[in-house]
Amino acid sequence: MIITGFAIFVVLALAIVFFRGVIGVSADNIENDARKSQRISEWDSFGTSNEGIAAFIFYNATLDDHTFSLYLNRDGFSFGYFFREGGSSSIITNGIIMLDYGSNGSAIFSMNKDRVAKIEYEAGDDVIEFSVDPSRPFAVVLPKNCSSVALYSDSGNEVSITSVEGRG
């Protein structure tokens, strides 16, 4: 009787933890979770993540429509990432937006009409740079300790960013 009661208690506790969102989404399942929750099926995607934040942009073949998804990894007792915000934005359609989430880092989203080919930022004493495809949309995450973010087009010109504080 005691063992049965304890087993029922454990099952109920695990169900509460799972359904209350304490578990989160694993890094490997973020794209699938975003596709399911935002009803995205056939669109292409681009996404990146780090230990604090995951960002995806989904877009159609003609590059005239998009949806973005942003997930944060909570501090404390949680396992995985939790959806924070998403949808579409005219800033993403026509330019570049950087959402800052403080201790989690930042995410940059763009349909890439400015043909960004290189992203560069400072992290402590290091300058980190990496390439993106200038003909495709992108969603990239930056660590919390980065500063002096710069984006460059495929012709070498610096491209402006609209920076906003994240809603979470």
Q: Please list, in sequence order, all residues whose beta carbon lies within 8 angstroms of the beta carbon of residue 9, skipping any fewer than 6 positions away.
A: none
Average pLDDT, the chain: 85
- 157 by DSSP, 3-state: which? coil
DSSP state of 45: E
Question: Is pLDDT of 5 > 70?
Answer: no
Give the tens place of pLDDT for each residue, 117-137. 999 999 888 899 999 999 999
- 129 by DSSP, 3-state: which? strand
Phi, psi of 131 (to 5 degrees): -100, 150
CB-based burial of residue 125 (10 Å sphere; 0-12 exposed, 13-18 middle, 19+ buried)? exposed
Q: Please list, in sequence order, all residues whose beta carbon lies within 8 angstroms of the beta carbon of residue 33, skipping any fewer than 6 positions away.
A: 25, 71, 83
Q: What is the pLDDT of residue 119?
A: 95
Domain ranges of the chain: 26-165
73-89 average pLDDT score: 82
Phi, psi of 19 (to 5 degrees): -80, -15
7: pLDDT confidence band, cut at 50, 70 and 90?
Answer: low
Q: What is the pLDDT of residue 8?
A: 65
Give the tens place of pLDDT for each residue, 33-71. 999 988 988 899 999 998 889 999 999 999 999 999 999
Report d(CA 17, CA 118) in Å as an integer. Answer: 42
Report d(CA 35, CA 29) in Å as an integer. Answer: 10
Question: Is pLDDT of 20 > 50?
Answer: no
Q: What is the pLDDT of residue 79?
A: 76
Query: Taking the complete model, does pTM exceed 0.75, yes or no?
Result: yes
Q: What is the pLDDT of residue 19?
A: 47
The DSSP H or E segment spanning 19 is helix 2-19
Report d(CA 56, CA 38) in Å as an integer. Answer: 12
Q: Which two tokens stand for residue 82?
A: 């939790």
For the chain, first and last CA: distance in Å?
A: 46
